[in-house]
Structure 1
Amino acid sequence: MQSKTQNLKTKIVPPPLKPGDLLRVISPSGALREFEAFQKGVEIWRSRGYRVELFPEIDDKWGYLAGKDESRREQLATAWQEPECRGVLCTRGGFGSSRILENWTWQNLENSAPKWLIGFSDITALLWSLYTAGISGVHGSVLTTLACEPDWSIQRLFDCVEGRPLAPLKGCGWGGGVVNGIVLPGNLTVATHLLGTPMLPDLDGVILALEDVTEAPYRIDRMLTQWRMSSVLSKVSGIALGSFSRCEPPANVPSFSVEEVLRDRLGDLKIPIVSNLPFGHDAPNAALPVGVTVELDADQGILNIL
């Protein structure tokens, strides 16, 4: 078994949350549609003793977006700059967060304690942008998906933001030894569209943790081929793959399976890889902190937060 350790650049982790803290809810991406699921997600946070406050614009619609870019950008800026606010919860994914990152800077980083930013899917763009500013967030359930999570996954999210240790995640090891690195979790499609932009973090020594949903195998192939041709995969130390749910090929069309595509496009990189880890779209979506040190054991198939 090969063991490998990279030089690590840890990020600032926000102070642990505690019941009574104020959390702001924002809609930075797609228009809110799943109102019952959303209310259930809000209630889970409130049942834990948190003060959860919504912006009046939370259910605005502008086409497929949750309001115009200026409105969604203002929600994020207001929540981020509010001194009493300790965390920012996202309603849902969809598309749109990258639009509000145009000409965006994370304001008042020096003048206030870092806040938790929690979400996944399209929220990947915000999480990775925040990571480039030196702050760790949480790749975890948005409010419209939280109530669908099993109890252990919900508890893991609260363990993550309240400062308790996180249990290792078990998947399928592809071999290649053990590596330590900074974990960078996100949605493959959203992350692919950050290639070549200032929002793409430095990937030297990073362990990429990727997932996706409703993408046909040829589209996964196309995205991973772009990653290969951009040469950024040569920088990463390991890859942790979550669920690629509802990524079946179209009926009666010749195709590889998504598992075959992942093996074909990633299997020759000669780095530790673990697949089938329990995070991503469709429960369970185990919370993963962004920018913290992890150990990826590709022989045993384990991702461990250190």
Structure 2
Amino acid sequence: MAKSNSYPCQLPPALKPGDRVTVIAPSGALKEFEALEQGLAIWRSRGYQVQLGSNWNFRHGYLAGDDRQRREALAQAWSDRDCQAILCVRGGYGGARLLEDWNWNSYLSEQTKTKSAWCNSKWLVGFSDVTSLLWSLAKIGIAGAHAPVLTTLASEPEWSINRLFDCLEGRKLEPLQGKGWGGSQTTGILLPANLTVATHLLKTPIQPSFESIILALEDVTEAPYRIDRMLTQWRLMRAFTGIKGIALGRFSRCDAPVGFNSWSVEEVIRDRLSDLNIPIVSDLPFGHDGVNAALPVGQMVQLDAEKGILSWY
């Protein structure tokens, strides 16, 4: 297996039309059936063979099947030599439950057990709750794509859909424009995440190294005081130590309850991050409820806090 916390992460083989991809639901149960069909249609229109995994429409409470069923679907897709990418149906909650005592190398097929997970890597595509799986792969040095899930893909503008396939098919990615907080440039290894999911992974065996990374964060439906509480936890744990810069995406529907005296989420984020003395760029086009530009995990990037640009090497 690849060395733990190795950076930059190894990119899986580039996809090409005709490849087979597998759809799984590692987290919440599917509710958006029409949106799923639209997402599948986009992949098929690009020439890909799309296979539905064993649990894509399972339901077990709020989960897409019990832990055994969801873990089995992930293991089957990961060990299938004819599957070139794993597409997540949606986020929700439940991905981290699959990773207790999980070992990517243990789920290789008999034909590939002599090789490591690093040698048999394939793309994993998703965001939000899929953060846990993306981080678990990054921990062993394998890149994934922090990108739209199947039920959000059709709502993306054309340029964002094209960007996803550029990422997966090995083409150069264009820079992303945000709002610089002022200061210098920095380079580092990009580690995207949903803030809430990432906070619950801190100091667990799933957390990759934070040394020399540029952290990319987004979130949804978290009131400002909850964002404050999470970022304060990062500070108390000294989790920002070693981080070279922060790229902030969208924090959507993160308003205070009606009638509740509160700072805005933007004010909270500035209060908790502006004294870290590292380059920060906000308002980048990724996250929930809007454009969700694909971000390859574990790759070298440059963050320009003066011009507000996140760019790739």
The TM-score, its normalising length taken from structure 1, stands at 0.96
1:250 counterpart residue number: 257
* Deviation by residue 1:84-140 (Cα, 9 ceiling, x = unmatched): 110000000000000001110112462753100000000000000000011000000
* 1:92 maps to which of 90, 93, 101: 90
**What is the deviation of 1:71?**
0.5
1:3 counterpart residue number: none
Tell me, in whole angstroms, the C-alpha distance in 1 between the residues paired with 2:305 and 2:41: 38
Say if 2:20 and 2:83, in contact at 8 Å, map to a contact too: yes
Tell me, in whole angstroms, the C-alpha distance in 1 between the residues paired with 2:291 and 2:192: 15
1:137 counterpart residue number: 144
- What secondary structure does 2:193 align onto? strand
**What is the deviation of 1:175?**
1.5
* Deviation by residue 1:5-34 (Cα, 9 ceiling, x = unmatched): xxx931110111000001010010000000
1:44 and 2:53 matched? no
Unpaired runs of at least 5, structure 1: 1-7
1:79 counterpart residue number: 77
Unpaired runs of at least 5, structure 2: 1-5, 109-114
Say if 1:28 and 1:96, in contact at 8 Å, map to a contact too: yes
1:62 and 2:60 matched? yes
Quick check: 246-255 or 110-119, which moved more?
Answer: 110-119
* 1:115 maps to which of 99, 118, 122: 122
Tell me, in whole angstroms, the C-alpha distance in 2 between the residues paired with 1:110 and 1:57: 26
* Deviation by residue 1:230-289 (Cα, 9 ceiling, x = unmatched): 001022000000000111111111000000000000000000000000000012000000
Q: What's the Cα RMSD here? A: 1.0
2:209 counterpart residue number: 202
**What is the deviation of 1:196?**
1.9
1:150 counterpart residue number: 157
Say if 1:16 and 1:163, in contact at 8 Å, map to a contact too: yes
Say if 1:87 and 1:117, in contact at 8 Å, map to a contact too: yes
Tell me, in whole angstroms, the C-alpha distance in 2 between the residues paired with 1:305 and 1:288: 10
1:271 and 2:269 matched? no
Aligned residue pairs, count? 299
1:235 and 2:242 matched? yes
Say if 2:27 and 2:90, in contact at 8 Å, map to a contact too: yes
The TM-score, its normalising length taken from structure 2, stands at 0.94
- What secondary structure does 2:165 align onto? helix
Tell me, in whole angstroms, the C-alpha distance in 2 between the residues paired with 1:140 and 1:282: 13
Tell me, in whole angstroms, the C-alpha distance in 2 between the residues paired with 1:176 and 1:122: 32
Tell me, in whole angstroms, the C-alpha distance in 2 between the residues paired with 1:77 and 1:55: 10
* 2:297 maps to which of 278, 285, 290: 290
The alignment-based identity, stated in percent, is: 61
Write the letter of the residue equivalent to 2:48. Answer: Y
1:259 counterpart residue number: 266
**What is the deviation of 1:176?**
2.3
Tell me, in whole angstroms, the C-alpha distance in 1 between the residues paired with 2:225 and 2:81: 46
Say if 1:182 and 1:205, in contact at 8 Å, map to a contact too: yes
Tell me, in whole angstroms, the C-alpha distance in 2 between the residues paired with 1:292 and 1:110: 21
1:25 counterpart residue number: 23
